[in-house]
Amino acid sequence: MASGCGGWPDEEMVAKDMFKAISAQVGRGILLRQIMVPLLPRSVVPQSRAFRQFVFPTAPLALCCLSIVACAQQGNGSRSRAAATGRYSPAITEADLRKRLFIFADDSMQGREAGTVGHEKALTYIVGELTRLGVKPAGENGYYQRVPLVPRRAPAGARVDTSWSRNVIAVIEGSDPTLKTEYVALGAHSDHVGFARRAVDHDSMRAFLRAGWEAIGRDANARGASPDQLAAIRVNMDSLRKIRPSRRDSINNGADDDGSGSMALLEIAEAFATNGTKPKRSLLLVWHTAEEKGLVGAAWFTDNPTVDRNKIVAQINIDMIGRGSARDVKGGGDDFLTVLGPKRLSSQFDQWVRDVNDKQPRPLKLDYEFDGDGHPQQFYCRSDHYEYARYGIPIAFFFTSIHEDYHQVTDEPQYIEYPKYTRITQYLYDVAAFTANQPQAPMVDKPKPDPAGTCRQ
Ligand SMILES: [Zn+2]
């Protein structure tokens, strides 16, 4: 999910020595404010009115928004490294998703910012798996499509990076001689927002974020915690320090955003590739780059498609499907899944999405709140599916909503809801298979947008 506030690292790696120096400043049993002030990267503090208000309480009072705080802070997880060895099961399994996500969101990927070595390393993992599975490449150069990192909607005069990144594109060929020329597309974004030059203490940060998120009712629609609420948040770190010492963290691992979607897509690819019975239509799998820089990879792919764009009958976008518990989201739970977009172009596709869910062993509770016209969060315009919808392709965007770790150093794989993540992945596999097997493509019965126009929620 894009926020438009990712940072640009200027160092190859965050030095371990820096971590040590910073951690030495962390005392025991002191207020979170005292912990956070020395630890916060100075360079990002001014970006966050909310946090400036919190740490410098004499600053002018203003209503503040936690999601803005979220953008300003960066940091690294000293998580245990999952074993990268061992075989994967052909089926969609919780063990596979867990194993894949701990690799893809590992600190060694450095936050997967598009155009960086860390992101390329993450792509290498995806391409290695596709190669092993024998999935057909569908990029310009094998699986890859080169993408210039120029925001399509960059404001005039904006500093524009001239580097490149890459989409990864693959196809599972359909089994019907006629329908195989059509595609059901599935997408996720492989990139995230990188890392910071300074570390914060992971547990302090998570405790602060958790308390702030609770203060606003775990509600993505909330205006944000008030300065008084933020000032009232005091976290005694003694109990945590008894469990483990300070863990310095500067890497935005993006386990949920969008490691969850990227690894779900890989599990889905594996399941289709190893299943002897292929759907009638072909499946187009695209790991878009630079979503976090403004849907850049999806815009590039849909403007410069490597298959006939007119033959893409639907697109399923998977961006952040690993959270959404009752603890994470107001109204959330073990069955909670947000859906956006299908009915905006095709009532029929919307119906299929619901029908397939109804047939699940344990159906999910599909939530359409964020799909409302003019919804202030603008989620419909904030992920890759829109780049397909603007060309009149019916889309469905699946999402388990914002949480306190969104765009934080604390978006790590140990906080993912794996059983639910697995059920959602299986459901999306089923939506793709069902759509690919229908005799007719989903009918477009709503007006198509102007491909060059601006997205309207
Ligand atoms: Zn994001």
**Average pLDDT per consecutive 10 residues, the chain (457 residues; last block may be shorter):** 41 28 29 32 34 30 27 32 62 97 96 94 97 97 91 64 88 98 98 90 86 86 77 71 82 97 98 94 97 93 97 98 94 96 96 98 95 88 94 97 92 97 98 98 95 90
Q: Among 251, 273, 298, identify where a domain stops.
A: 251
With beta carbons less than 8 A apart as the criterion, state whether 389 and 371 touch: no
Cα dist from 312 to 204, 239, 315, whole Å: 46, 54, 7
338 shares its domain with 404 = yes
Ligand 1 center to 3 CA (angstroms): 6
pTM: 0.81
247 shares its domain with 272 = no
Ligand 1 center to 208 CA (angstroms): 20
Predicted confidence at residue 30, as pLDDT, reads 25
Predicted confidence at residue 182, as pLDDT, reads 98
Residue 196 CB contacts under 8 Å (≥ 6 apart), including other chains: 7, 9, 14, 41, 43, 44, 73, 74, 75, 250, 252, 409
Ligand 1 center to 254 CA (angstroms): 8
Ligand 1 center to 281 CA (angstroms): 31
Ligand 1 center to 2 CA (angstroms): 4
181 shares its domain with 239 = no
Predicted confidence at residue 6, as pLDDT, reads 30
237 shares its domain with 286 = no
240 shares its domain with 312 = no
36 shares its domain with 126 = no
Give the domain CATH number at 260: 3.40.630.10
- Please report where in the chains the tokens 């229908």 appear, as a residue: 438
Ligand 1 center to 158 CA (angstroms): 21
Q: Does residue 236 lie within any of the structural domains?
A: yes
Ligand 1 center to 439 CA (angstroms): 36
Structural domain range at position 188: 94-194+254-437
DSSP 3-state of 169: strand
Phi, psi of 345 (to 5 degrees): -125, -30
Half-sphere exposure of 416 (CA within 13 A, CB side): 33
Instruction: Report the number of distinct structural domains present in the chain.
Output: 2
